[in-house]
Chains A and B, each alone.
Chain A
Amino acid sequence: MAVATGTPARDAQAGGVTRHAGHRPGGGVVFHLVMAPVALLWVAPMLFAAAIAVRSFDDVTERGLGALPASFTLSGFVTAVTEVELGTALVNSLIVTAPAVVLALLLSSMAAFGLSRYEIPFRRTILLGMLAGNLLPPQVLLIPVAKMSENIGTYDALVGLVAIHVGFGLGFYTFVLYGFMRSIPREVTEAAVVDGAGSMQVYWRIVMPLSRPALAALAALATTWIYNDLVWALTILQSQAKFPITAALLNLQGSYVSQWNVVASGAMLAAIPTAVVFFAFQRHFVSGLLVGSTK
C-alpha cells in the first residue's frame, strides 16, 4: 500500500520505465495515428459541451444543437448563475466538501495512527471491517440514514451531508493511511517517546507531517468524490436552496430543458472545480486512484 501511494504514480506521470526494447523508430507514426484520434474522441464530449455553452440561445434553436458555433456569448453562464442560482449551489458544495474532507482525513488518520502504532487487539479485523463499510453499496444505507437524520435533526441540513460523507469515507481513508503509517520506521516515533512525547504529540508532530504524501493523495481523491456526490445529497436534502451543484444540475435539466446553452453552461461550471483539482494535484490524484491495485 505504501508503495502504491507514492512511487508508481510518479512513474506513471513521468512515463517512468527506462526500457526501450521493441521500440522501433517506424512504430511511432502508427502509434500517434491511432492514439491521437482516440484521445481526441475522449475529450470530444467535453469540447462539444463547451461549444454549446458559449453559443447563444437563438443560435442553438435556429441551427440545431449539433451545428458548429456561429455565436459567442457568456449569457448561458450568466443565466445559470443568476436565474438558476448555480452560484449558491456551488457554494453549498464547497460548504459540504471542505469540512467533510478535513474531518474525514483527521478522523481516519487518528484511527490509522492508533491501529498502526499500538498493539490493539483485533486491529486487522477492525481495519478490514472499516474498509468493508466503505465498500458497501450506498443503497444499502440510504433509507436508514435518511430516517436517522430525521430523528437526530440533521435531515435537510448541510451538516447532515458532511456527517454521512465523513462516516462513509472513513474506512477507505483509514485503510490507505494505515498502510502508509506502517511504513514509517518505528525508530522515528520511539525516539520521540524516549524524549518524553505523549501519544498526541507523536501523532500530531511526527506521524502526521510524515504522512503528508498520502494525505495529499487522499485529499485530492476525497475532494472529487465528495464534491461529485449525488445520491447522498438527494437522500438527505429536501429544499432546493441547500442543494449542492450536482443535485442543482438535475433540477436545471428539468426546468431549462429547452435552453441547452444554459444546461451546458451549468455542466461546465460544475466541472471546473474538479478540473482545477485535477490539474493542480494531478500526480496526487493518480496516486490516489492507484491505491489498492499494486502489491
Chain B
Amino acid sequence: MWVFVAVPLAVEAVWVFWPALNSFWLSVTKWNGVGVPEFVGLANYADLAGDPVFKQALLNNVIWLVCFGGLSIVGGLALAVALNRPRRLVGLYRSAIYLPMVFSLAVTGLFWRVLYQPDGTVDAVLGGLGLDSLVRQWLADPDTALGAVLVAAVWRQVGYLMVLYLAGLKGCDPTLDDAAAIDGANALQRFRYVTLPQLRGVNTVVFAVTVIDSLRTFDLVWAMTRGGPYHATELLSTYMFQQGFTFLNLGYGSAIAVVIFLLAIGFIITYLVRASRQEVI
C-alpha cells in the first residue's frame, strides 16, 4: 500500500521539489551552464537591487497584479451576479465569457496581436467611431503596451473568476436574500450586506489564485511583446526567462526565480490553509 503513495511522491520529488531546492543553491552562484557553478554568496541579489530592468519588472508586476487582479475580480463577480439566476440565454452568455479560458495564452496573444496591428481591428473601430486621435501602434508604443497586454489577460481571466464566483453564489443562502428584500433592502444593499459576506471563502481562493497567476504570467507577454518595447511590459517571469535562457546567466536568473518564489509563498500558504480547512481532509 505504501507503493501507491511512494511512486507518485518520488516522481514529484524528482521533477518539482528537488529542482525547487536547486534553484536556491543556483541563486548564490555564477554559472553559464557549463562546468561547475561558482559560489558568489549574495552577489546576485545585490546586483538585482541595483538593476533598473529588475526594478521595472517588479513595478510592472505590481501594476499587473493591481489591474489584472482588480479588473478580473470585479468583472468576474459582476458577471457572476448578473448571470446567477436562470433566465433565457444565460447558459449561452456564460459560455461566451468563459470560452477564452480554453485557448492557450499563446493563441490568446496571437488573437490580440492581430487586433492591435497598426491597420488592425482596434484601430479600424476607433477610426470608424471618429476617434482617430486614439489610433496608435498599441504594442509598439511603450506608453500603451502594458495596458494593451493587460486587456488580453483580463479578457481571458474574467470567465474563470466568474465560474468561481458562480459556485460561491450557489452556496449562498437564498432565504437571507429574500428576508432582506422583504425588510426593504435594495439590490445594492442586499449585495453589499447579505451576499458579499457569504462569499468570503471564495474571495480567499480568488485572491490567492490571482496573486499566484500574476506572478506566473509569462506565456501571454512572451507571445505578444517578449517584455518589450524597452522593457515596458517586462515582468519578473519574462526577465527571469531572458536572463536564464537567452543570456545564460543561470545564477542571476535563479535569483529572480527565488524572488518570485518569496513573493508567491505567502499566498500559496493562504491557499493551502483554506484548502486544508475543508471538511474532506
Contact = CB atoms under 8 A, between A and B. Distances in A.
B115 interface: yes
Given A126-B9, A253-B113, A270-B104, A137 B260 contact: yes
B201 interface: yes
Contacts of A18: 86
A178 to B, nearest CB: 8
A114 B110 contact: no
A128 B275 contact: yes
B163 A286 contact: yes
Given A137-B212, A141-B20, A67 B241 contact: no
B117 interface: yes
B219 A231 contact: yes
A164 to B, nearest CB: 6
A93 B177 CA distance: 48
Given A107-B7, A249-B110, A292-B205, A39 B117 contact: no
Interface in A218-262: 224, 227-231, 234-235, 246-247, 249-250, 253, 260
A285 B174 CA distance: 26
B107 to A, nearest CB: 5
A164 B105 contact: no
A260 B114 contact: yes
Contacts of A270: 103-104, 106-107
Contacts of B187: 22
A16 B223 contact: no
Contact of A140 (B33, B103, B258): B258
Interface residues of A, number: 120
Contacts of B219: 228, 230-231, 246
Contact of A136 (B166, B178, B268): B268
B2 interface: yes
Contacts of B195: none
Interface stretch (B41-49, B65-73, B77-85, B141-149): B77-85
Interface string A1-19: 1101000110111111111
Interface in B172-214: 174, 177-178, 181, 187, 201-202, 205-206, 212
A260 B192 CA distance: 47
A137 B90 contact: no
A163 B12 CA distance: 10
Contacts of A182: 280-281
Interface residue SS majority, chain B: helix
Nearest to B249: A143
Nearest to B165: A293
B281 A127 contact: yes
A214 to B, nearest CB: 12
A167 B155 CA distance: 30
Given A65-B120, A230-B222, A264-B110, A133 B17 contact: yes
Contacts of B272: 128, 131-132, 135
Contact of B164 (A120, A234, A289): A289
A109 B175 CA distance: 39
A108 interface: yes
Contacts of A15: 85-87, 90-91
Interface string B19-32: 11011001000000
B36 interface: no
Contacts of A146: 245
Contact of A120 (B5, B124, B202, B206): B5
24 contacts: A1-B280, A12-B94, A15-B85, A16-B86, A17-B170, A19-B85, A31-B82, A35-B83, A45-B115, A45-B155, A114-B2, A114-B4, A135-B268, A139-B236, A141-B20, A142-B253, A143-B257, A179-B278, A230-B222, A231-B241, A234-B245, A264-B110, A271-B103, A278-B102
Interface of A: 1-2, 4, 8-9, 11-23, 28, 31-32, 34-36, 38-40, 42-43, 45-46, 48-49, 52, 64-67, 107-108, 110-111, 113-115, 117-118, 120, 123-124, 126-128, 130-148, 163-164, 166-168, 170-171, 174-175, 178-179, 182-183, 199, 203, 224, 227-231, 234-235, 246-247, 249-250, 253, 260, 263-264, 266-267, 270-271, 274-275, 277-278, 282, 285-286, 289-290, 292-295
Given A113-B4, A282-B95, A289-B98, 15 more contacts: A38-B97, A49-B115, A66-B122, A110-B4, A114-B4, A130-B12, A132-B272, A135-B264, A137-B257, A138-B216, A166-B15, A179-B281, A199-B1, A246-B104, A292-B271
